[in-house]
Protein backbone atom coordinates (compact mmCIF):
# COMPACT_ATOMS: atom_id res chain seq x y z
CA UNK A 1 0.00 0.00 0.00
CA UNK A 2 1.32 3.44 -0.90
CA UNK A 3 1.06 6.15 1.70
CA UNK A 4 2.42 9.68 1.57
CA UNK A 5 4.43 11.10 4.45
CA UNK A 6 3.89 14.87 4.31
CA UNK A 7 7.52 15.82 4.77
CA UNK A 8 10.50 16.94 2.77
CA UNK A 9 12.83 16.09 5.67
CA UNK A 10 14.70 13.06 4.34
CA UNK A 11 16.09 12.25 7.82
CA UNK A 12 12.58 11.83 9.21
CA UNK A 13 11.47 9.88 6.14
CA UNK A 14 14.41 7.48 6.56
CA UNK A 15 13.57 6.95 10.25
CA UNK A 16 9.94 6.18 9.44
CA UNK A 17 10.68 3.98 6.42
CA UNK A 18 12.69 1.65 8.68
CA UNK A 19 9.70 1.27 11.00
CA UNK A 20 6.98 0.60 8.41
CA UNK A 21 6.02 -2.99 7.59
CA UNK A 22 7.21 -4.27 4.21
CA UNK A 23 3.77 -4.07 2.60
CA UNK A 24 3.83 -0.25 2.83
CA UNK A 25 5.58 1.95 0.32
CA UNK A 26 6.29 5.38 1.72
CA UNK A 27 6.22 8.42 -0.54
CA UNK A 28 7.41 11.89 0.40
CA UNK A 29 6.65 15.37 -0.89
CA UNK A 30 9.59 14.98 -3.27
CA UNK A 31 7.84 12.01 -4.91
CA UNK A 32 4.81 14.15 -5.77
CA UNK A 33 6.94 17.16 -6.79
CA UNK A 34 5.65 19.32 -3.95
CA UNK A 35 8.43 21.78 -3.11
CA UNK A 36 6.56 24.52 -1.25
CA UNK A 37 6.20 24.62 2.51
CA UNK A 38 2.97 23.20 3.85
CA UNK A 39 1.15 25.66 6.12
CA UNK A 40 1.91 25.27 9.83
CA UNK A 41 -0.02 28.14 11.34
CA UNK A 42 -1.80 26.39 14.19
CA UNK A 43 -1.14 27.03 17.85
CA UNK A 44 -0.48 23.45 18.93
CA UNK A 45 1.56 20.49 17.77
CA UNK A 46 -1.58 18.40 17.23
CA UNK A 47 -3.33 21.10 15.20
CA UNK A 48 -0.24 21.55 13.01
CA UNK A 49 -0.08 17.82 12.25
CA UNK A 50 -3.77 17.81 11.36
CA UNK A 51 -3.41 20.95 9.24
CA UNK A 52 -0.54 19.45 7.22
CA UNK A 53 -2.35 16.15 6.71
CA UNK A 54 -5.53 17.91 5.60
CA UNK A 55 -3.57 20.10 3.18
CA UNK A 56 -2.15 17.02 1.43
CA UNK A 57 -5.48 15.23 1.38
CA UNK A 58 -7.31 18.28 0.02
CA UNK A 59 -4.72 19.00 -2.67
CA UNK A 60 -3.53 15.53 -3.73
CA UNK A 61 -6.38 13.18 -2.70
CA UNK A 62 -4.02 10.48 -1.38
CA UNK A 63 -3.79 8.47 1.83
CA UNK A 64 -1.26 10.36 3.91
CA UNK A 65 0.10 11.14 7.31
CA UNK A 66 1.76 14.21 8.71
CA UNK A 67 3.59 14.75 11.94
CA UNK A 68 4.64 17.63 14.07
CA UNK A 69 7.13 17.44 16.89
CA UNK A 70 8.06 19.81 19.62
CA UNK A 71 10.60 19.97 22.40
CA UNK A 72 8.86 21.07 25.60
CA UNK A 73 11.19 22.31 28.33
CA UNK A 74 9.78 22.54 31.86
CA UNK A 75 11.77 25.60 33.00
CA UNK A 76 10.75 27.46 29.82
CA UNK A 77 7.03 26.84 30.35
CA UNK A 78 6.90 24.32 27.52
CA UNK A 79 8.97 26.30 25.03
CA UNK A 80 10.00 25.93 22.29
CA UNK A 81 6.98 23.64 21.78
CA UNK A 82 5.13 24.25 18.53
CA UNK A 83 7.90 26.69 17.49
CA UNK A 84 10.72 24.14 17.92
CA UNK A 85 11.91 24.17 14.28
CA UNK A 86 12.00 27.97 14.12
CA UNK A 87 12.66 28.85 17.76
CA UNK A 88 15.62 31.10 16.90
CA UNK A 89 14.08 32.40 13.67
CA UNK A 90 12.67 31.48 10.30
CA UNK A 91 16.08 30.28 9.06
CA UNK A 92 15.34 27.02 10.98
CA UNK A 93 18.93 26.54 12.10
CA UNK A 94 19.47 23.60 14.45
CA UNK A 95 22.60 25.26 15.85
CA UNK A 96 20.85 28.58 16.50
CA UNK A 97 17.88 26.82 18.11
CA UNK A 98 20.12 24.84 20.47
CA UNK A 99 22.15 27.95 21.34
CA UNK A 100 18.97 29.83 22.23
CA UNK A 101 17.76 26.98 24.45
CA UNK A 102 21.12 26.87 26.22
CA UNK A 103 21.16 30.63 26.78
CA UNK A 104 17.63 30.58 28.22
CA UNK A 105 18.50 27.69 30.54
CA UNK A 106 21.81 29.21 31.68
CA UNK A 107 20.56 30.06 35.20
CA UNK A 108 18.06 27.21 35.51
CA UNK A 109 18.69 24.12 37.63
CA UNK A 110 15.68 22.22 36.24
CA UNK A 111 16.69 20.96 32.80
CA UNK A 112 13.85 18.45 32.44
CA UNK A 113 12.13 18.31 29.08
CA UNK A 114 10.12 16.09 26.81
CA UNK A 115 9.80 15.55 23.11
CA UNK A 116 6.22 15.20 21.84
CA UNK A 117 5.29 13.92 18.38
CA UNK A 118 1.75 13.93 17.05
CA UNK A 119 0.83 12.15 13.83
CA UNK A 120 -2.36 12.85 11.90
CA UNK A 121 -3.26 9.94 9.63
CA UNK A 122 -5.75 10.52 6.80
CA UNK A 123 -6.77 7.17 5.34
CA UNK A 124 -9.94 5.81 3.79
CA UNK A 125 -11.89 8.95 4.57
CA UNK A 126 -11.09 9.25 8.27
CA UNK A 127 -8.50 11.10 10.31
CA UNK A 128 -6.85 9.57 13.37
CA UNK A 129 -4.29 11.12 15.72
CA UNK A 130 -1.43 9.28 17.45
CA UNK A 131 0.94 10.72 20.08
CA UNK A 132 4.35 9.72 21.38
CA UNK A 133 6.27 11.30 24.25
CA UNK A 134 9.76 10.72 25.61
CA UNK A 135 10.91 12.44 28.80
CA UNK A 136 14.49 13.44 29.45
CA UNK A 137 16.85 16.30 30.15
CA UNK A 138 18.65 19.05 28.28
CA UNK A 139 22.42 18.53 28.42
CA UNK A 140 24.64 21.52 29.14
CA UNK A 141 26.73 20.69 26.06
CA UNK A 142 25.84 18.87 22.87
CA UNK A 143 27.15 15.33 22.36
CA UNK A 144 27.19 13.12 19.29
CA UNK A 145 27.12 13.46 15.52
CA UNK A 146 23.95 11.58 14.51
CA UNK A 147 20.37 12.75 14.22
CA UNK A 148 19.10 16.27 13.67
CA UNK A 149 17.34 19.12 15.45
CA UNK A 150 17.88 19.12 19.21
CA UNK A 151 19.27 15.55 19.27
CA UNK A 152 22.78 16.55 20.53
CA UNK A 153 21.40 18.24 23.67
CA UNK A 154 18.53 15.88 24.56
CA UNK A 155 19.18 12.82 26.70
CA UNK A 156 16.23 10.47 27.33
CA UNK A 157 15.66 9.39 30.94
CA UNK A 158 17.74 6.44 32.16
CA UNK A 159 19.77 6.34 28.95
CA UNK A 160 23.18 7.94 29.43
CA UNK A 161 23.38 9.01 25.76
CA UNK A 162 22.04 11.92 23.78
CA UNK A 163 19.88 11.11 20.77
CA UNK A 164 22.82 12.26 18.61
CA UNK A 165 25.09 9.60 20.18
CA UNK A 166 22.71 6.80 19.22
CA UNK A 167 22.40 4.74 16.07
CA UNK A 168 19.06 5.07 14.32
CA UNK A 169 18.03 1.71 15.78
CA UNK A 170 18.90 2.82 19.32
CA UNK A 171 17.08 6.13 18.86
CA UNK A 172 13.98 4.35 17.56
CA UNK A 173 13.86 2.28 20.75
CA UNK A 174 13.50 5.49 22.80
CA UNK A 175 12.11 8.12 20.51
CA UNK A 176 8.87 10.03 20.71
CA UNK A 177 8.50 9.71 16.95
CA UNK A 178 8.98 5.94 17.08
CA UNK A 179 6.38 5.68 19.86
CA UNK A 180 3.82 7.66 17.88
CA UNK A 181 4.58 5.74 14.69
CA UNK A 182 4.33 2.41 16.51
CA UNK A 183 0.74 3.32 17.44
CA UNK A 184 -0.02 4.32 13.85
CA UNK A 185 1.58 1.15 12.45
CA UNK A 186 -0.44 -0.97 14.84
CA UNK A 187 -3.56 0.59 13.35
CA UNK A 188 -2.30 0.27 9.75
CA UNK A 189 -1.62 -3.43 10.26
CA UNK A 190 -5.35 -3.88 10.85
CA UNK A 191 -6.05 -2.53 7.34
CA UNK A 192 -4.23 -5.26 5.37
Hey, where are the domains in the chain?
2-189
The pLDDT assigned to 71 comes to 97
Q: What is the pLDDT of residues 9-26, one digit of tens each?
A: 877 787 787 777 777 888
Please indicate whether residue 147 or residue 134 has the higher confidence score (pLDDT): 134
The pLDDT assigned to 20 comes to 78
Contacts of 33 by beta carbon, 8 Å cutoff, 6+ apart: none
Mean pLDDT of 18-44: 87
Q: What is the pLDDT of residues 74-91, one digit of tens each?
A: 999 999 999 999 999 988
Query: Which residue is catalytic, options 36, 37, 58, 68?
Result: 68
The CATH class of the 2-189 domain is alpha beta
Closest CA to 18 of 162, 175, 151: 175
Terminal Cα distance for the chain, rounded: 9
> Cα angle at 116 between 79 and 106, to 5 degrees?
35
110 classed as catalytic = no
For the chain, what is the mean pLDDT?
92
Contact 54, 6 (CB under 8 A): no
pTM of the full structure:
0.87
DSSP E strand boundaries for the chain? 2-5, 25-27, 64-73, 112-123, 126-138, 154-156
The pLDDT assigned to 192 comes to 64
Mean pLDDT of 121-128: 94
Amino acid sequence: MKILFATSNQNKAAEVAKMLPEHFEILTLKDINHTDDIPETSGTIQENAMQKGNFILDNYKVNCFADDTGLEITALNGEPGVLSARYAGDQRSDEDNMALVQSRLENESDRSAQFRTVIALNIRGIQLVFEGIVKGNILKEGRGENGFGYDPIFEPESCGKSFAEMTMEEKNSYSHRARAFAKMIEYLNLLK
